[in-house]
A and B are shown apart, each in its own frame.
Chain A
Amino acid sequence: MSKLLTIEELTVATTNALDRKLVNMVSLSIEPGRTTCVVGESGSGKSLTALSVMGLLSKQLVRTHGRVLFQGKDLASLSSEDMRKIRGRQIGMIFQEPMTSLNPVLTIGFQIGEPLTVHLGYKGDVLKAKVSELLEQVGIPANRAGSYPDELSGGQRQRVMIAMSIACQPLMLIADEPTTALDVTVQSQILSLLDGLKTSMNMGMLLITHDFGVVSDVADDVVVMFRGSVVEAGSVDQVLNRPQHPYTKALLDCVPDVAGKKPLKPIDYAWLNELEVPA
Protein backbone atom coordinates (compact mmCIF):
# COMPACT_ATOMS: atom_id res chain seq x y z
CA MET A 1 0.00 0.00 0.00
CA SER A 2 1.24 3.48 -0.74
CA LYS A 3 2.47 5.63 2.09
CA LEU A 4 0.40 8.61 3.10
CA LEU A 5 2.98 10.29 5.25
CA THR A 6 6.66 9.56 5.50
CA ILE A 7 8.97 11.10 8.05
CA GLU A 8 12.61 10.66 7.11
CA GLU A 9 15.43 11.20 9.58
CA LEU A 10 13.63 14.08 11.26
CA THR A 11 15.86 15.98 13.68
CA VAL A 12 14.69 18.89 15.81
CA ALA A 13 17.00 21.03 17.93
CA THR A 14 16.74 24.18 19.98
CA THR A 15 17.71 27.32 18.08
CA ASN A 16 20.27 28.43 20.64
CA ALA A 17 22.04 25.07 20.82
CA LEU A 18 21.81 23.22 17.55
CA ASP A 19 23.56 20.16 18.92
CA ARG A 20 20.84 19.73 21.55
CA LYS A 21 18.67 17.35 19.64
CA LEU A 22 15.20 16.89 21.06
CA VAL A 23 14.14 14.69 18.19
CA ASN A 24 16.95 12.67 16.67
CA MET A 25 16.80 11.00 13.24
CA VAL A 26 13.21 9.86 13.59
CA SER A 27 11.75 7.96 10.64
CA LEU A 28 8.25 6.56 10.41
CA SER A 29 5.45 6.24 7.91
CA ILE A 30 1.68 6.13 7.93
CA GLU A 31 -0.61 4.27 5.56
CA PRO A 32 -4.25 5.00 4.79
CA GLY A 33 -6.69 3.13 7.01
CA ARG A 34 -4.03 2.27 9.59
CA THR A 35 -3.20 3.66 13.01
CA THR A 36 0.38 4.23 14.03
CA CYS A 37 0.89 4.81 17.74
CA VAL A 38 3.90 6.71 19.00
CA VAL A 39 4.60 5.81 22.63
CA GLY A 40 7.21 7.04 25.07
CA GLU A 41 7.65 8.81 28.38
CA SER A 42 7.31 12.55 28.78
CA GLY A 43 10.17 14.33 27.09
CA SER A 44 10.79 11.55 24.61
CA GLY A 45 9.91 13.78 21.66
CA LYS A 46 6.53 12.31 20.72
CA SER A 47 4.64 15.58 20.59
CA LEU A 48 7.49 17.45 18.88
CA THR A 49 7.45 14.87 16.11
CA ALA A 50 3.75 15.51 15.56
CA LEU A 51 4.13 19.27 15.71
CA SER A 52 6.92 19.27 13.16
CA VAL A 53 4.75 17.35 10.72
CA MET A 54 2.23 20.16 10.90
CA GLY A 55 4.93 22.84 10.78
CA LEU A 56 3.83 24.11 14.18
CA LEU A 57 7.14 24.08 16.05
CA SER A 58 7.64 27.05 18.34
CA LYS A 59 10.22 29.69 17.48
CA GLN A 60 12.78 28.28 19.92
CA LEU A 61 12.88 25.03 17.99
CA VAL A 62 14.15 24.30 14.52
CA ARG A 63 14.27 21.33 12.23
CA THR A 64 17.92 20.74 11.44
CA HIS A 65 17.71 17.62 9.35
CA GLY A 66 15.28 15.33 7.58
CA ARG A 67 12.11 15.56 5.51
CA VAL A 68 8.40 15.13 6.00
CA LEU A 69 6.70 13.84 2.87
CA PHE A 70 2.92 13.99 2.60
CA GLN A 71 1.69 12.12 -0.47
CA GLY A 72 5.19 12.41 -1.85
CA LYS A 73 5.37 16.21 -1.39
CA ASP A 74 7.97 17.67 0.95
CA LEU A 75 5.98 19.74 3.41
CA ALA A 76 8.92 22.03 4.19
CA SER A 77 9.13 23.17 0.58
CA LEU A 78 5.56 24.47 0.66
CA SER A 79 4.80 28.14 1.16
CA SER A 80 2.96 28.97 4.36
CA GLU A 81 -0.10 29.67 2.19
CA ASP A 82 0.00 26.13 0.75
CA MET A 83 0.74 24.64 4.15
CA ARG A 84 -2.34 26.33 5.53
CA LYS A 85 -4.39 24.63 2.82
CA ILE A 86 -3.16 21.23 3.95
CA ARG A 87 -3.51 21.87 7.67
CA GLY A 88 -7.07 21.15 8.68
CA ARG A 89 -8.04 20.22 5.12
CA GLN A 90 -5.91 17.18 4.44
CA ILE A 91 -4.31 16.63 7.83
CA GLY A 92 -6.52 17.06 10.87
CA MET A 93 -5.14 17.48 14.34
CA ILE A 94 -6.57 16.78 17.80
CA PHE A 95 -4.78 18.17 20.82
CA GLN A 96 -4.54 16.77 24.30
CA GLU A 97 -6.52 19.29 26.25
CA PRO A 98 -10.05 19.81 25.07
CA MET A 99 -10.46 22.41 27.82
CA THR A 100 -7.90 24.78 26.41
CA SER A 101 -7.99 24.08 22.70
CA LEU A 102 -11.51 25.42 22.12
CA ASN A 103 -12.30 29.11 21.96
CA PRO A 104 -14.52 29.89 24.97
CA VAL A 105 -16.36 32.82 23.35
CA LEU A 106 -17.50 31.05 20.19
CA THR A 107 -20.24 28.43 19.92
CA ILE A 108 -19.15 24.92 19.12
CA GLY A 109 -21.26 25.03 15.95
CA PHE A 110 -19.25 28.02 14.71
CA GLN A 111 -15.96 26.37 15.59
CA ILE A 112 -16.85 23.14 13.80
CA GLY A 113 -18.08 25.12 10.79
CA GLU A 114 -14.98 27.30 10.54
CA PRO A 115 -12.75 24.83 8.67
CA LEU A 116 -15.64 24.10 6.32
CA THR A 117 -16.00 27.80 5.46
CA VAL A 118 -12.28 28.41 5.19
CA HIS A 119 -11.31 25.36 3.16
CA LEU A 120 -14.45 24.41 1.26
CA GLY A 121 -16.42 27.66 1.15
CA TYR A 122 -19.54 26.24 2.81
CA LYS A 123 -22.15 28.84 3.77
CA GLY A 124 -25.66 29.27 5.13
CA ASP A 125 -27.97 26.29 5.27
CA VAL A 126 -25.49 23.92 3.66
CA LEU A 127 -22.99 24.76 6.38
CA LYS A 128 -25.61 24.34 9.10
CA ALA A 129 -26.65 20.96 7.77
CA LYS A 130 -23.05 19.80 7.55
CA VAL A 131 -22.31 20.93 11.12
CA SER A 132 -25.37 19.06 12.39
CA GLU A 133 -24.25 15.99 10.52
CA LEU A 134 -20.78 16.20 12.06
CA LEU A 135 -22.17 16.62 15.56
CA GLU A 136 -24.37 13.55 15.11
CA GLN A 137 -21.39 11.66 13.77
CA VAL A 138 -19.41 12.23 16.98
CA GLY A 139 -22.43 11.52 19.16
CA ILE A 140 -23.55 15.01 20.23
CA PRO A 141 -27.19 16.01 19.61
CA ALA A 142 -27.32 18.48 16.68
CA ASN A 143 -29.29 21.00 18.73
CA ARG A 144 -26.20 21.60 20.86
CA ALA A 145 -24.55 23.52 18.01
CA GLY A 146 -25.37 26.80 19.79
CA SER A 147 -23.68 25.74 23.04
CA TYR A 148 -20.45 27.26 24.29
CA PRO A 149 -17.54 25.02 25.30
CA ASP A 150 -18.06 25.62 29.02
CA GLU A 151 -21.53 24.13 28.76
CA LEU A 152 -20.09 20.78 27.70
CA SER A 153 -18.36 18.02 29.64
CA GLY A 154 -14.74 17.08 29.00
CA GLY A 155 -15.70 14.12 26.86
CA GLN A 156 -18.12 16.21 24.80
CA ARG A 157 -15.46 18.87 24.24
CA GLN A 158 -13.08 16.23 22.98
CA ARG A 159 -15.83 15.06 20.61
CA VAL A 160 -16.16 18.63 19.37
CA MET A 161 -12.40 18.67 18.72
CA ILE A 162 -12.77 15.45 16.76
CA ALA A 163 -15.71 16.86 14.77
CA MET A 164 -13.59 19.93 13.90
CA SER A 165 -10.64 17.87 12.83
CA ILE A 166 -12.63 15.54 10.58
CA ALA A 167 -14.92 18.27 9.18
CA CYS A 168 -13.08 18.45 5.85
CA GLN A 169 -12.63 14.68 5.62
CA PRO A 170 -8.87 14.79 5.99
CA LEU A 171 -6.71 12.01 4.62
CA MET A 172 -4.82 11.90 7.84
CA LEU A 173 -5.46 12.60 11.50
CA ILE A 174 -2.84 13.42 14.09
CA ALA A 175 -4.10 12.92 17.64
CA ASP A 176 -1.83 13.98 20.49
CA GLU A 177 -2.95 12.16 23.67
CA PRO A 178 -6.62 12.63 22.78
CA THR A 179 -7.97 10.77 25.80
CA THR A 180 -5.41 11.40 28.53
CA ALA A 181 -7.56 13.85 30.46
CA LEU A 182 -10.71 11.74 30.29
CA ASP A 183 -12.38 9.09 32.43
CA VAL A 184 -11.90 5.48 31.30
CA THR A 185 -15.47 4.98 30.14
CA VAL A 186 -15.36 8.20 28.08
CA GLN A 187 -11.90 7.23 26.85
CA SER A 188 -13.13 3.94 25.48
CA GLN A 189 -16.02 5.72 23.72
CA ILE A 190 -13.69 8.28 22.11
CA LEU A 191 -11.21 5.61 21.03
CA SER A 192 -13.86 3.46 19.39
CA LEU A 193 -15.24 6.61 17.71
CA LEU A 194 -11.80 7.38 16.27
CA ASP A 195 -11.32 3.78 15.26
CA GLY A 196 -14.67 3.75 13.48
CA LEU A 197 -13.91 6.99 11.63
CA LYS A 198 -10.54 5.64 10.58
CA THR A 199 -12.20 2.64 8.97
CA SER A 200 -15.18 4.43 7.42
CA MET A 201 -13.11 7.30 5.98
CA ASN A 202 -9.98 5.25 5.32
CA MET A 203 -7.91 7.77 7.24
CA GLY A 204 -4.33 7.28 8.25
CA MET A 205 -3.93 8.03 11.94
CA LEU A 206 -0.93 9.08 13.98
CA LEU A 207 -1.85 8.62 17.62
CA ILE A 208 0.46 9.83 20.34
CA THR A 209 0.00 8.25 23.74
CA HIS A 210 1.84 7.04 26.79
CA ASP A 211 -0.74 4.41 27.67
CA PHE A 212 0.09 0.90 26.52
CA GLY A 213 -3.51 -0.16 27.09
CA VAL A 214 -4.62 2.36 24.47
CA VAL A 215 -1.86 1.15 22.15
CA SER A 216 -2.95 -2.45 22.38
CA ASP A 217 -6.60 -1.48 21.73
CA VAL A 218 -6.25 0.73 18.67
CA ALA A 219 -2.80 0.54 17.10
CA ASP A 220 -1.84 -1.31 13.94
CA ASP A 221 1.77 -0.20 14.10
CA VAL A 222 3.79 1.03 17.07
CA VAL A 223 6.80 3.32 17.30
CA VAL A 224 8.59 3.50 20.66
CA MET A 225 10.54 6.67 21.38
CA PHE A 226 13.17 7.22 24.06
CA ARG A 227 15.10 10.47 24.60
CA GLY A 228 14.31 11.77 21.14
CA SER A 229 15.10 8.62 19.19
CA VAL A 230 13.04 5.76 17.86
CA VAL A 231 14.25 2.65 19.66
CA GLU A 232 11.78 0.21 18.22
CA ALA A 233 9.12 0.10 15.52
CA GLY A 234 6.91 -2.63 14.19
CA SER A 235 3.43 -4.11 14.21
CA VAL A 236 1.50 -3.93 17.47
CA ASP A 237 1.79 -7.66 17.98
CA GLN A 238 5.53 -7.60 17.43
CA VAL A 239 6.26 -4.67 19.74
CA LEU A 240 3.93 -5.62 22.59
CA ASN A 241 4.39 -9.37 22.57
CA ARG A 242 7.92 -9.80 21.27
CA PRO A 243 9.77 -6.57 22.10
CA GLN A 244 13.35 -6.56 20.91
CA HIS A 245 14.84 -3.44 22.46
CA PRO A 246 15.72 -3.53 26.17
CA TYR A 247 14.01 -0.16 26.71
CA THR A 248 10.72 -1.41 25.26
CA LYS A 249 10.95 -4.49 27.45
CA ALA A 250 11.68 -2.40 30.54
CA LEU A 251 8.84 0.01 29.76
CA LEU A 252 6.38 -2.85 29.29
CA ASP A 253 7.44 -4.27 32.66
CA CYS A 254 6.31 -1.04 34.32
CA VAL A 255 2.77 -1.25 32.99
CA PRO A 256 0.33 -2.64 35.53
CA ASP A 257 -1.71 -5.40 33.88
CA VAL A 258 -5.45 -5.67 34.22
CA ALA A 259 -5.32 -9.10 35.83
CA GLY A 260 -2.92 -7.82 38.51
CA LYS A 261 -0.77 -10.93 38.24
CA LYS A 262 2.43 -9.56 36.80
CA PRO A 263 4.75 -7.94 39.36
CA LEU A 264 5.70 -4.35 38.61
CA LYS A 265 9.32 -3.77 37.73
CA PRO A 266 10.52 -0.17 37.57
CA ILE A 267 13.04 0.88 34.95
CA ASP A 268 16.64 0.88 36.08
CA TYR A 269 17.81 4.09 34.44
CA ALA A 270 21.45 3.63 35.43
CA TRP A 271 21.43 0.41 33.49
CA LEU A 272 19.70 2.08 30.55
CA ASN A 273 22.30 4.84 30.45
CA GLU A 274 24.98 2.27 29.89
CA LEU A 275 23.14 0.84 26.94
CA GLU A 276 23.86 2.36 23.62
CA VAL A 277 20.72 3.95 22.33
CA PRO A 278 20.87 4.04 18.56
CA ALA A 279 21.25 7.63 17.42
Chain B
Amino acid sequence: MSEFILKARDLNKFYTQRSGRFGFGTTQIKALDNVSIELRHASTLAVVGESGSGKSTLARCLLQLQPLDGGSVFFQGRDLADLPSNELRRQRRHLQMIFQDPFASLNPRMQVGEIVEEGLLIHGLGNKDERYEKALKMLKRVGLSESDMKKYPHEFSGGQRQRIGIARALVLSPKVVVCDEPVSALDVSIQAQILLLLKELQKEMSLSYIFISHDLRVVRHIADEIVVMHQGKVVEKGSIQEVYESPKQEYTQNLLEAIPGQKRQAA
Protein backbone atom coordinates (compact mmCIF):
# COMPACT_ATOMS: atom_id res chain seq x y z
CA MET B 1 0.00 0.00 0.00
CA SER B 2 1.28 3.44 -0.84
CA GLU B 3 1.75 6.11 1.77
CA PHE B 4 -1.23 7.99 0.35
CA ILE B 5 -4.55 6.67 1.55
CA LEU B 6 -6.65 9.00 -0.57
CA LYS B 7 -5.71 10.63 -3.84
CA ALA B 8 -7.75 12.84 -6.08
CA ARG B 9 -6.62 13.58 -9.59
CA ASP B 10 -7.85 16.43 -11.81
CA LEU B 11 -11.25 16.78 -10.19
CA ASN B 12 -13.68 18.95 -12.11
CA LYS B 13 -17.12 20.02 -11.09
CA PHE B 14 -19.36 22.57 -12.79
CA TYR B 15 -22.52 24.19 -11.63
CA THR B 16 -24.91 25.79 -14.04
CA GLN B 17 -26.34 29.04 -12.87
CA ARG B 18 -29.21 30.92 -14.39
CA SER B 19 -28.19 34.38 -15.45
CA GLY B 20 -29.26 37.31 -17.54
CA ARG B 21 -32.67 38.92 -17.55
CA PHE B 22 -35.34 36.59 -16.11
CA GLY B 23 -32.74 33.86 -15.88
CA PHE B 24 -33.04 32.87 -19.53
CA GLY B 25 -29.31 32.60 -19.94
CA THR B 26 -27.03 30.16 -18.21
CA THR B 27 -23.48 30.49 -16.98
CA GLN B 28 -21.17 27.70 -15.99
CA ILE B 29 -19.46 28.08 -12.67
CA LYS B 30 -16.33 26.06 -12.17
CA ALA B 31 -16.56 24.92 -8.57
CA LEU B 32 -13.59 22.59 -8.97
CA ASP B 33 -11.05 23.26 -11.68
CA ASN B 34 -8.51 20.46 -12.09
CA VAL B 35 -8.06 19.90 -8.38
CA SER B 36 -5.57 17.26 -7.33
CA ILE B 37 -4.81 16.42 -3.71
CA GLU B 38 -3.08 13.64 -1.83
CA LEU B 39 -3.82 12.60 1.74
CA ARG B 40 -1.08 10.75 3.60
CA HIS B 41 -1.97 7.87 5.89
CA ALA B 42 -2.67 8.99 9.50
CA SER B 43 -2.04 12.64 8.78
CA THR B 44 -4.16 15.75 8.41
CA LEU B 45 -4.55 17.67 5.18
CA ALA B 46 -6.17 21.07 5.56
CA VAL B 47 -8.13 22.64 2.74
CA VAL B 48 -8.44 26.39 3.23
CA GLY B 49 -10.01 29.15 1.22
CA GLU B 50 -12.65 31.84 1.38
CA SER B 51 -16.35 31.29 0.86
CA GLY B 52 -17.03 30.20 -2.68
CA SER B 53 -13.56 28.80 -3.21
CA GLY B 54 -14.88 25.25 -3.64
CA LYS B 55 -13.70 23.68 -0.39
CA SER B 56 -17.05 22.16 0.56
CA THR B 57 -17.67 20.98 -3.00
CA LEU B 58 -14.32 19.23 -2.84
CA ALA B 59 -15.31 17.51 0.41
CA ARG B 60 -18.56 16.23 -1.04
CA CYS B 61 -16.96 15.12 -4.28
CA LEU B 62 -14.21 13.21 -2.48
CA LEU B 63 -16.82 11.15 -0.67
CA GLN B 64 -18.83 10.65 -3.86
CA LEU B 65 -21.75 12.49 -2.33
CA GLN B 66 -21.92 14.54 -5.49
CA PRO B 67 -21.18 13.29 -8.98
CA LEU B 68 -17.96 14.56 -10.54
CA ASP B 69 -17.74 16.10 -13.99
CA GLY B 70 -14.20 14.84 -14.42
CA GLY B 71 -11.26 13.30 -12.62
CA SER B 72 -11.01 10.39 -10.24
CA VAL B 73 -10.72 9.70 -6.54
CA PHE B 74 -8.53 6.84 -5.45
CA PHE B 75 -9.07 5.31 -2.01
CA GLN B 76 -6.33 2.86 -1.06
CA GLY B 77 -5.37 2.70 -4.69
CA ARG B 78 -8.84 1.90 -6.06
CA ASP B 79 -10.82 4.32 -8.18
CA LEU B 80 -14.10 4.89 -6.33
CA ALA B 81 -15.95 5.57 -9.57
CA ASP B 82 -15.05 2.10 -10.88
CA LEU B 83 -16.46 0.28 -7.89
CA PRO B 84 -19.83 -1.42 -8.27
CA SER B 85 -22.45 0.30 -6.14
CA ASN B 86 -22.61 -2.37 -3.45
CA GLU B 87 -18.84 -2.30 -3.12
CA LEU B 88 -18.86 1.50 -2.94
CA ARG B 89 -21.41 1.25 -0.17
CA ARG B 90 -19.14 -1.14 1.69
CA GLN B 91 -16.21 1.22 1.30
CA ARG B 92 -18.20 4.14 2.64
CA ARG B 93 -17.80 2.96 6.21
CA HIS B 94 -14.13 3.83 5.80
CA LEU B 95 -14.95 7.31 4.48
CA GLN B 96 -16.84 9.36 7.02
CA MET B 97 -17.73 13.00 7.42
CA ILE B 98 -18.07 15.42 10.32
CA PHE B 99 -20.26 18.39 9.51
CA GLN B 100 -20.05 22.07 10.30
CA ASP B 101 -23.39 22.76 11.88
CA PRO B 102 -24.00 20.52 14.86
CA PHE B 103 -27.56 21.87 15.00
CA ALA B 104 -28.54 20.89 11.48
CA SER B 105 -26.69 17.62 11.04
CA LEU B 106 -28.38 15.54 13.73
CA ASN B 107 -31.91 14.21 13.24
CA PRO B 108 -34.00 15.90 15.96
CA ARG B 109 -36.38 12.92 16.19
CA MET B 110 -33.74 10.32 16.90
CA GLN B 111 -32.17 9.54 20.24
CA VAL B 112 -28.43 10.00 20.45
CA GLY B 113 -27.89 6.26 20.89
CA GLU B 114 -29.86 5.57 17.69
CA ILE B 115 -27.96 8.23 15.79
CA VAL B 116 -24.62 6.71 16.69
CA GLU B 117 -25.78 3.10 16.17
CA GLU B 118 -27.40 3.78 12.81
CA GLY B 119 -24.16 3.50 10.84
CA LEU B 120 -23.42 0.10 12.40
CA LEU B 121 -26.92 -1.05 11.56
CA ILE B 122 -26.67 0.07 7.94
CA HIS B 123 -23.34 -1.65 7.47
CA GLY B 124 -24.59 -4.76 9.26
CA LEU B 125 -21.90 -4.72 11.90
CA GLY B 126 -22.57 -6.79 15.01
CA ASN B 127 -25.83 -7.77 16.68
CA LYS B 128 -28.03 -5.52 18.77
CA ASP B 129 -26.03 -5.82 21.98
CA GLU B 130 -22.70 -5.41 20.23
CA ARG B 131 -23.93 -2.30 18.45
CA TYR B 132 -25.11 -0.85 21.73
CA GLU B 133 -21.79 -1.60 23.38
CA LYS B 134 -19.83 -0.09 20.50
CA ALA B 135 -21.93 3.07 20.41
CA LEU B 136 -21.67 3.42 24.17
CA LYS B 137 -17.91 3.00 24.11
CA MET B 138 -17.58 5.62 21.38
CA LEU B 139 -19.86 8.08 23.15
CA LYS B 140 -17.92 7.64 26.37
CA ARG B 141 -14.70 8.20 24.46
CA VAL B 142 -15.92 11.57 23.17
CA GLY B 143 -16.97 12.61 26.66
CA LEU B 144 -20.66 11.69 26.93
CA SER B 145 -22.27 9.18 29.29
CA GLU B 146 -24.63 6.20 29.04
CA SER B 147 -27.61 8.25 30.20
CA ASP B 148 -27.08 10.56 27.21
CA MET B 149 -27.97 7.75 24.79
CA LYS B 150 -31.67 8.12 25.50
CA LYS B 151 -31.64 11.88 25.03
CA TYR B 152 -32.49 13.87 21.92
CA PRO B 153 -30.08 16.25 20.16
CA HIS B 154 -31.87 19.40 21.36
CA GLU B 155 -30.92 18.57 24.94
CA PHE B 156 -27.26 19.19 24.19
CA SER B 157 -25.09 22.28 23.74
CA GLY B 158 -23.29 23.00 20.48
CA GLY B 159 -20.02 21.49 21.66
CA GLN B 160 -21.73 18.33 22.91
CA ARG B 161 -23.59 17.96 19.63
CA GLN B 162 -20.35 18.19 17.76
CA ARG B 163 -19.08 15.38 20.01
CA ILE B 164 -22.13 13.32 18.99
CA GLY B 165 -21.33 14.05 15.33
CA ILE B 166 -17.78 12.85 15.91
CA ALA B 167 -18.99 9.69 17.65
CA ARG B 168 -21.37 8.96 14.79
CA ALA B 169 -18.56 9.24 12.24
CA LEU B 170 -15.95 7.32 14.21
CA VAL B 171 -18.05 4.43 15.54
CA LEU B 172 -17.50 2.72 12.18
CA SER B 173 -13.70 2.85 12.65
CA PRO B 174 -13.23 4.72 9.37
CA LYS B 175 -9.89 5.31 7.71
CA VAL B 176 -10.55 8.73 6.22
CA VAL B 177 -12.63 11.41 7.91
CA VAL B 178 -13.59 14.58 6.10
CA CYS B 179 -14.19 17.36 8.62
CA ASP B 180 -16.08 20.25 7.02
CA GLU B 181 -15.51 23.29 9.26
CA PRO B 182 -16.04 21.19 12.40
CA VAL B 183 -15.27 23.98 14.88
CA SER B 184 -16.31 27.18 13.16
CA ALA B 185 -19.72 27.30 14.84
CA LEU B 186 -18.21 26.91 18.32
CA ASP B 187 -16.82 29.26 20.98
CA VAL B 188 -13.03 29.33 21.29
CA SER B 189 -13.09 27.41 24.57
CA ILE B 190 -15.22 24.62 23.07
CA GLN B 191 -13.23 24.81 19.86
CA ALA B 192 -10.04 24.00 21.76
CA GLN B 193 -11.70 20.97 23.39
CA ILE B 194 -12.93 19.58 20.08
CA LEU B 195 -9.61 20.16 18.31
CA LEU B 196 -7.74 18.31 21.03
CA LEU B 197 -10.29 15.49 20.95
CA LEU B 198 -9.88 15.16 17.17
CA LYS B 199 -6.11 15.03 17.57
CA GLU B 200 -6.23 12.36 20.29
CA LEU B 201 -8.64 10.22 18.29
CA GLN B 202 -6.45 10.51 15.23
CA LYS B 203 -3.57 8.98 17.18
CA GLU B 204 -5.64 6.25 18.81
CA MET B 205 -7.46 5.13 15.68
CA SER B 206 -4.78 6.16 13.11
CA LEU B 207 -7.27 8.28 11.22
CA SER B 208 -6.48 10.40 8.20
CA TYR B 209 -8.26 13.75 8.19
CA ILE B 210 -9.23 16.12 5.45
CA PHE B 211 -9.84 19.27 7.44
CA ILE B 212 -11.83 21.96 5.64
CA SER B 213 -11.59 25.35 7.29
CA HIS B 214 -11.45 29.06 6.68
CA ASP B 215 -9.67 29.73 9.98
CA LEU B 216 -5.95 29.71 9.39
CA ARG B 217 -5.18 29.83 13.10
CA VAL B 218 -7.04 26.57 13.70
CA VAL B 219 -5.47 24.92 10.66
CA ARG B 220 -1.97 25.69 11.88
CA HIS B 221 -2.70 23.75 15.05
CA ILE B 222 -4.22 20.65 13.56
CA ALA B 223 -2.85 20.06 10.08
CA ASP B 224 0.35 18.57 8.70
CA GLU B 225 -0.16 19.66 5.13
CA ILE B 226 -2.27 22.37 3.55
CA VAL B 227 -3.99 23.10 0.26
CA VAL B 228 -5.05 26.67 -0.47
CA MET B 229 -8.03 27.02 -2.81
CA HIS B 230 -9.23 30.07 -4.68
CA GLN B 231 -12.06 30.14 -7.22
CA GLY B 232 -12.10 26.40 -7.61
CA LYS B 233 -8.37 26.05 -8.18
CA VAL B 234 -5.59 24.87 -5.92
CA VAL B 235 -3.28 27.88 -5.77
CA GLU B 236 -0.73 26.51 -3.34
CA LYS B 237 0.03 23.32 -1.47
CA GLY B 238 2.75 22.13 0.83
CA SER B 239 3.62 21.36 4.41
CA ILE B 240 2.17 23.65 7.07
CA GLN B 241 5.57 25.05 7.86
CA GLU B 242 6.45 25.82 4.25
CA VAL B 243 3.19 27.53 3.45
CA TYR B 244 2.92 29.57 6.65
CA GLU B 245 6.53 30.66 6.76
CA SER B 246 7.21 31.27 3.10
CA PRO B 247 3.99 31.43 1.08
CA LYS B 248 4.78 31.54 -2.61
CA GLN B 249 1.53 32.88 -3.99
CA GLU B 250 0.28 36.41 -3.46
CA TYR B 251 -3.20 35.09 -2.64
CA THR B 252 -1.83 32.95 0.19
CA GLN B 253 0.18 35.89 1.48
CA ASN B 254 -2.92 38.10 1.57
CA LEU B 255 -4.85 35.39 3.35
CA LEU B 256 -2.15 34.98 5.98
CA GLU B 257 -1.83 38.72 6.50
CA ALA B 258 -5.56 39.03 7.05
CA ILE B 259 -5.53 36.75 10.10
CA PRO B 260 -6.66 39.00 12.92
CA GLY B 261 -4.40 39.53 15.90
CA GLN B 262 -1.15 40.34 14.13
CA LYS B 263 -1.24 44.11 13.82
CA ARG B 264 -0.11 44.87 17.31
CA GLN B 265 2.71 42.37 17.17
CA ALA B 266 3.99 44.00 14.00
CA ALA B 267 3.64 47.53 15.35
Contact = CB atoms under 8 A, between A and B. Distances in A.
Interface string B141-153: 0000000000000
B259 A264 contact: no
Q: Chain A interface: which size bin?
A: 20 to 34
A258 B259 CA distance: 8
A158 to B, nearest CB: 13
Contacts of B21: none
A227 to B, nearest CB: 13
Q: Chain B interface: which size bin?
A: 20 to 34
Contact of B244 (A188, A191, A260): A260
Q: Is the interface of A mostly helix, strand, loop or mixed?
A: helix
Nearest to A40: B187
A212 B191 CA distance: 13
A214 B257 CA distance: 13
Given A183-B50, A210-B187, A216 B263 contact: yes
Contact of B254 (A185, A217, A255, A259): A185
A264 B198 CA distance: 13
B179 to A, nearest CB: 15
Interface string B173-200: 0000000000000011111110110000
A191 B190 CA distance: 25
B50 A255 contact: no
B154 interface: no
Contacts of B215: 184, 256
B111 to A, nearest CB: 25
A214 B188 CA distance: 13
A190 to B, nearest CB: 11
A74 interface: no
In order of increasing CB-CB distance, the 4 nearest A-B pairs are A213-B261, A213-B260, A260-B220, A254-B192
Given A41-B188, A187-B258, A217-B261, 17 more contacts: A41-B189, A154-B51, A183-B51, A184-B258, A184-B259, A185-B50, A187-B260, A188-B258, A216-B263, A216-B264, A250-B189, A254-B188, A254-B192, A255-B188, A258-B259, A264-B196, A267-B193
Interface of B: 50-51, 158, 187-193, 195-196, 214-218, 220-221, 240, 244, 254-255, 257-264
Interface of A: 41-42, 154, 183-188, 191, 210-217, 236, 250-251, 253-260, 264-267
